[in-house]
Amino acid sequence: MPKLKTKSGVKKRFSLTSKGKVRANQANKRHGMIKRTPKQIRQQRGTTILDPSDAKIVKKFMPYG
């Protein structure tokens, strides 16, 4: 069987944790931060774990983890 290719966009944007969950960057932080509350800015630092329904879609594009 030929090897499956990983989607290069997924490769750049997501990573897997050791338990197989999908880690992603926080959304809504690109522009317009002056409108956001300080609490919202604080809570959107770092990364987040994707919801299982979204993670299923992303895992389809990264066949070997």
Residues spanned by the domain of 57: 8-61
30 within domain boundaries: yes
CB atoms within 10 A of CB 29: 13
Query: Residue 17: inside a domain, yes or no?
Result: yes
What is the pLDDT at residue 65? 81
Mean pLDDT over the full length of the chain: 95
Quote the percentage of the chain above a pLDDT of 90: 95
Look at residue 36 in the predicted model and tell me its pLDDT.
96
Distances (CA, A) of 12 to 2, 33, 38, 39, 40: 23, 24, 28, 28, 25
Q: What is the CATH number of the domain that holds 37?
A: 4.10.410.60
